[in-house]
A and B are shown apart, each in its own frame.
Chain A
Amino acid sequence: MKEYDIVIIGGGPAGLAAAVSAKKNGIKNILILERDKELGGILNQCIHNGFGLHTFKEELTGPEYAEKFIQQVKEGKIEYKRNTMVTDISPKKVVTAMNHEEGLFEIQAKAVVLAMGCRERARGALNIPGYRPAGIFSAGTAQRFVNMEGYLPGREVVILGSGDIGLIMARRMTFEGAKVKVVAELMPYSGGLKRNIVQCLDDYGIPLKLRHTVVDIKGKKRLEGVVLAEVDERGKPISGTEEFYSCDTLLLSVGLIPENELSMAMGVEINPVTMGPEVNEILETSMEGVFACGNVLHVHDLVDFVSQEAATAGKNAALYVKMGNTRKRKGKKILLNAKEGIRYTVPGAIHVENMDENLMVRFRVDNVYKNCYINMYLNDERVMHKKCLVLTPGEMEEIKLIKEDLLSYPNLKTITLKIEEA
């Protein structure tokens, strides 16, 4: 069986950045496994601009951002296999994969980096009544058709859900000559970034209907229209508010789910809120030597943060290979509690002695909060009280933990984050 120091599952933004970082940290024997025909992952179909403002201080398109990392992978002579599907990872880190050239094969890894990304929530998860005609796509599928395959999925479009991909596709379909009639969002706030609402909807006069959902789908062979209705506080459609929109295409942009079948089969513990692996201060999962980063860990809004996170995972995988069990999880485990208003934190628990000098903790809030405070408590003492003009579920937040502060705190047991409204 062939052996590698680090095997990275997935050649998207997370996998690429993890590989580059592992290489920089002294590991030569790295393999990236990618199931698609090219490296770059979802960035290949994200042809719009706005990537890399944090990392490269310039505004790049998705393919350009990916290419910067692909170049580094090539320059570093990091091995990769494309068109290669991983079917299993054993608890002993034997990776089973297959492709056309080699058939089914096994690889022994010393460390594994999980970077499989996420997939879109589909119609089946929404319980929309009505027929199942052609013309209903997830927004990302439509994006791939238009931007990579060169097909336009339809001419008259309604979009359900205001996630970023749906907003981006509203503009993209408009450019290709389609008429985007409306974007309906169940929640009272958008799930996407504000700048996408302005640049993708407002610029083109596309209405966004908050607190609205699709209650019926018309058409048998091809979609002929959808019925939208307003919803009440509990998300139930309000009778009498139904309105028919004729359309041949319905795009769903209703959320992303980390793709963790491989992780779960391997025995990695999954956080029920993020649907991604539970990780510690070095982004190591519940299994020793198995790391996770990017959208497989928790869904991000900005690829820049994926790259940063993946670089951390790659570095720690490299350190694990070099130091093995000598770098055990030192000291006791401190839990990070996500309380009032905070849905989750990544990581969810840390070993302070094992931390780098600083640690970025990323989290999302559960609602829109204006003029509020993010508070951090060490045990019962409030140590941070940071004013925020606005927090929304669509934008990931972060705070920095400082090792020295935590080490010097007497008898630290828990770190708690919560929102307090002013």
Chain B
Amino acid sequence: MEERNFICICCPMGCSLTVVMKGEEVVEVAGNTCKRGDIYARNEVINPMRMVTSTVKVIGGRENVVSVKTKEDIPKGKIFECVRALKDVKVNAPVYMGDTIMKNVANTGVDIVATKNVECKEA
């Protein structure tokens, strides 16, 4: 039996949750004061997912960088692989919101898309 602790983020209450695991299986969730806490804890131990937001360099744009995001949430364990993959990426201006910057980042099956418009630098 393994115990893992979380703070629930479903509401400002911030309950301290304890999840009792037997191997990959959740045996018990304790410390939650509502149903949502139970669901959050179960997702959080089995497969926590996060959206990753960062920036990549832009060549010839009005700005030096453009903000980007993973189009969907990716597994929490893949976050650093994802930001490392973006480290040396450079894109040419113009870049528009929703443009795909990188396909299948860190083998997650999720694309990186721009979240901002960066026009070309005026000559």
Contact = CB atoms under 8 A, between A and B. Distances in A.
A101 interface: no
A146 B79 CA distance: 18
Q: Which of B33, B63, B64 is the most central at the interface, judged by chain A CB atoms within 10 Å of its CB?
A: B63
B78 interface: no
Contacts of A175: 52, 54, 83
B12 A61 contact: no
A194 B14 contact: yes
Interface string B32-59: 0100000000000000001111110100
Contact of A147 (B11, B51, B65, B87): B65
A47 B55 contact: yes
Interface size for chain A: under 10, 10 to 19, 20 to 34, or 35 or more residues? 20 to 34
A198 interface: yes
Contacts of A389: 11, 13, 33
A189 B55 CA distance: 31
Interface in B91-123: 97, 115-117
A246 interface: no
A64 B65 contact: no
Contact of B53 (A61, A203, A390, A391): A61
Interface residues of B, number: 28
Contacts of A148: 63-65
A420 interface: no
B97 A49 contact: no
B18 interface: no
Given A47-B55, A49-B69, A150-B55, A67 B12 contact: no
A392 interface: yes
A28 interface: no
B27 interface: no
Given A150-B57, A389-B33, A194 B51 contact: no
Contacts of A197: 7
B9 interface: yes
Interface in A36-70: 44, 47-49, 59, 61, 63-64, 67
A48 B9 contact: no
Nearest to B116: A63
Contacts of B65: 147-150
A242 interface: no
Contact of A194 (B9, B69, B87): B9
B59 to A, nearest CB: 12
Contact of B115 (A61, A194, A392): A61
13 contacts: A47-B55, A47-B67, A61-B69, A64-B116, A67-B97, A147-B67, A150-B57, A150-B63, A150-B64, A150-B65, A203-B79, A390-B14, A392-B12
- 10 smallest beta-carbon distances between A and B, as pairs: A150-B64, A47-B67, A195-B9, A63-B116, A150-B65, A194-B14, A61-B115, A175-B83, A390-B13, A49-B51
